[in-house]
Amino acid sequence: MRSYEGLNGLLLDRCVAHARANRHPEQRERTIWEVFETERPGLVPYTGRFDGFHAVPAAVSKTCLVRFDNNRYSVAAGAVGRPVEIRAYAERIEFRQDGRVVGEHPRCFGRDQTVYDPWHYVPVLARKPGALRNGAPFKDWLLPSALERIRRKLRSAEDGDRQMVGILTAVLSDGLTAVEAACAEALREGVHSADVVLNILARRRDPPVPAPILIPDALRLQHEPLADCSRYDSLRSSM
């Protein structure tokens, strides 16, 4: 079984099949499933998965890594320098700092393994754009289609790494969906520079809604002007 969801689904199917096929141990004239259906209206409604986890504090290394259970997991670059709370679930690891989630990964059960999320390191790329090619967090990084095509085209540019870092940094503020759409539009136009992609993003942002202007009563017009364009005809006739 490849996932907990698949395992739970299999267990549910087996339990239901067993309940339908077997007699209740006390009410022999009925199946387990029939007794369950009778009791169902009186059961407490299901309100969601129980939030069960093992919590421990931990330090964040200068390389944005947190060690837990013989493995290392990355967290957001902004979390460096202060401790985090590890919440270890059965299938995932969550890292919190000041009540905010700064990292989340599928739980690793091996030893001495490092689990990276490349997006955690994007802010670091602003200082070291060359790490995009050789840094361990970015090895075999699979980007969405349009972003990946832009990255391949920029590899031949002299400042391609710097431009790509600018596009990736925009994801942190505009979101991956918006940046991917901007990259796709740029490619349709036959261009792939960061300036073009960022310009498309800027044009797509909703303009800020201006605050309403409250007009004092003393400045309100007592008689609203009437638009009468026929007055211009009199000017034309006098020429």
Q: Are residues 134 and 177 in the same domain?
A: yes
Q: Are residues 92 and 125 in the same domain?
A: no
pLDDT digits 0-9 by tens, 23-48: 999 999 999 999 999 999 999 988 88
The verdict on residue 217 lying in a domain is no
Whether residue 18 is predicted with pLDDT greater than 70 in this model: the reply is yes
Q: Are residues 182 and 131 in the same domain?
A: yes
pLDDT, residue 238, reads 62
Q: Are residues 24 and 58 in the same domain?
A: no
Average pLDDT, the chain: 91
Instruction: Please compute the mean of the pLDDT values over residues 80-98 and round it to a whole number.
Output: 95
**With pLDDT > 90 as the criterion, what percentage of the chain qualifies?**
72
What does the block give as tokens for 106? 């599928």
If one counts every other C-beta atom within 10 angstroms of the C-beta of residue 115, the result is 16
pLDDT digits 0-9 by tens, 128-150: 998 998 899 999 899 999 999 99
Q: What is the Cα 46 distance to its own chain's centre?
A: 28
Q: Are residues 182 and 140 in the same domain?
A: yes
Q: Are residues 77 and 148 in the same domain?
A: no
The verdict on residue 28 lying in a domain is yes
* Number of domains within the chain: 3
The verdict on residue 213 lying in a domain is no
φ and ψ at 58, to 5 degrees? -155, 160
Pairing mode of beta strands 71-74, 65-68 = antiparallel
Whether residue 2 is predicted with pLDDT greater than 90 in this model: the reply is no
Compute the distance between CA of residue 102 and CA of residue 104 in angstroms, rounded to an integer.
Answer: 7
The verdict on residue 229 lying in a domain is no
Q: Are residues 154 and 172 in the same domain?
A: yes
Q: Are residues 130 and 83 in the same domain?
A: no
Instruction: Please compute the mean of the pLDDT values over residues 212-234 and round it to a whole number.
Output: 81
Pairing mode of beta strands 114-115, 71-74 = parallel
pLDDT, residue 41, reads 92
Compute the distance between CA of residue 70 and CA of residue 114 in angstroms, rounded to an integer.
Answer: 10
Q: Are residues 111 and 127 in the same domain?
A: no
- Residue 92: give the domain boundaries: 54-115
Whether residue 5 is predicted with pLDDT greater than 90 in this model: the reply is no
Q: Give 86 or 3, the one with higher predicted confidence.
A: 86
Whether residue 171 is predicted with pLDDT greater than 70 in this model: the reply is yes
Q: Give 3 or 36, the one with higher predicted confidence.
A: 36
Q: Are residues 132 and 186 in the same domain?
A: yes
Q: Which of 62, 90, 115 is the last residue of a domain?
A: 115
The model carries a pTM of: 0.70
Q: How confident is the model at residue 104 (pLDDT cuts 50, 70, 90)?
A: very high
Q: Are residues 108 and 133 in the same domain?
A: no
Whether residue 209 is predicted with pLDDT greater than 80 in this model: the reply is no
Pairing mode of beta strands 54-58, 71-74 = unpaired
